[in-house]
Structure 1
Amino acid sequence: MTAVATSDFIDKEEPKRTVMIYSRYERFWHWSQAALIFTLAFTGFSIHGLLPLGYKLAVQIHSWAAIALIVLWAFTTFWHFTTGQWRQYLPKLASLPAILKFYAWGILAGAPHPYTKTLKRKQNALQSLAYLWFMVVIGPALWSSGIAYLTYPLWAKMAAGTHALEIVAFIHLAAAYLISIFVIIHIYMTTTGKTPLHYIKTMITGYDTIPLSKAEAAYLAEDEPNRLKS
């Protein structure tokens, strides 16, 4: 997906158009990741005896789901860097105080959202910061400790007499709880759009109504007309 070279800030008075802002791969990645994370959470809690799925079956499903998620993350990391979409996760910190103020009490008072989604910047500063933390800290901690768990028979002799496995277990469990908290907050945030289902619908269809500059509208009409809804 080629981004149009525009300013990061587009006047809210620019004409709005319904545009596909999330590609098929972005939507596939999002929903596949969500399904795998829920599967891992359910089986993980079952392994610890908190849910009714049997231990052996839970371990098998958990292991295969973990491998699938690691493969998905590897392909998605490659996609982000080859398409330039990794820039979406670099937060504009100057706008963060206004975003925090809005979510702290402005949203309860019916204040307008201080951020306007654009073709180039789909996420506000708080979202970018949260996703960056998820992909750079929580995700790597989860899959690296998970790989260490899966390959424990290969390094068990080296770790004999140490607390290495306990440390791996602690990191994995802590990352799992952090990712669970992230998911809960993420689900709540999906209800804060124009309607409670607006953001979910956008991530299913890929389309949202956003302001477009003349340059962006001209570019899409000429080079990617399938992304514009008439």
Structure 2
Amino acid sequence: MVKERVMVFSRFERFWHWSQAVLIIALMITGFEVNGAYRWLGYEQAAQWHRLAAWVLIGLWVFVLFWHAITGEWKQYIPTRRGILAVARYYTTGILDASVPHPYRKTRMAKHNPLQRLAYLAFNVLISPVIWISGLLYMFYNAWVHTGLEGPVTLGTVALVHTAAAFAMLIFFVGHVYLAAFAGKPFYAYLKAMITGYDLLYIDPAEDPCRDRRPTPPAT
């Protein structure tokens, strides 16, 4: 396989990635204020913006899920154990040595390394469902009396679960930003790829020969 400058992230991928990032940041800022961590906008305004950001993010995710389903990009997140120990060693020690190359050979059809796949799997099937179910239950608390939830489930329990999921989201977000900023070589490589859409990848000959690509820039 040869390494070439290839369009890895489409316009839609970059759009939903950055839109999701902004919305999640807005949800964390307003959510922790609603929870009483600090005071900035005020409870009422923070709660209003929190609900608005939540509904916009839900709408975005509907489009994102549909896009992943029709394009087959959901396969990028299927977990694998192959090479996971090498990637783990790189993130713990190799990341500190500029001379140590990343052990994972990224391709257009396999953009995420084994640890990334596990992290995204946890985000998609654990953190996100818990935070959305608990958040919607909290939002529609007044309708509980019509659903039979009142009694077996308390508002305090839902709030606790939602807050715990929010902290899990915060940990994921911090880890994601840290690795995006420092795991690349050069350090800005991942950020640049998510802005421009292009990255240097090992090309699998089995891929579509008509893929969007540009010549590899000369070494400097």
Assess same fold via TM > 0.5.
yes
2:6 matched to which residue of 1? 19
1:196 CA displacement: 2.1
Is contact 2:83–2:114 with CA below 8 Å preserved after alignment?
A: yes
- Larger deviation: 15-24 or 35-44? 15-24
1:156 CA displacement: 4.0
Structure 1: gaps of 5 or more residues = 1-13
1:33 matched to which residue of 2? 20
Distance between the aligned counterparts of 1:178 and 1:143, measured in 2?
A: 13
2:90 matched to which residue of 1? 102
2:186 matched to which residue of 1? 195
- Larger deviation: 163-172 or 17-26? 163-172
| Residue identity in the other structure for 2:213 | L
2:218 matched to which residue of 1? none
Residue deviations 1:53-92 (CA, integer Å, cap 9, x gap): 2110000000010111111112211211211111111122
When normalised by structure 1's length, the TM-score is 0.86
Tell me the matched-pair count. Answer: 211
Change (3 A) 1:160 1:142: closer
1:136 matched to which residue of 2? 125
| Residue identity in the other structure for 2:203 | L
Percent identity among equivalent residues?
A: 45
1:197 CA displacement: 1.6
Structure 2: gaps of 5 or more residues = 216-220
1:147 CA displacement: 1.0
What SS does the corresponding residue of 2:83 show, helix, strand or coil? helix
Is the counterpart of residue 75 in structure 1 residue 66 in structure 2? no
* Counterpart pick for 1:169 among 125, 150, 159: 159
* Counterpart pick for 1:150 among 139, 150, 153: 139
Is contact 2:107–2:204 with CA below 8 Å preserved after alignment?
A: no
Is the counterpart of residue 180 in structure 1 residue 178 in structure 2? no
Distance between the aligned counterparts of 1:99 and 1:31, measured in 2?
A: 26
Is contact 1:159–1:165 with CA below 8 Å preserved after alignment?
A: no
Question: Higher helix proportion, which one?
Answer: 1
1:49 matched to which residue of 2? 36
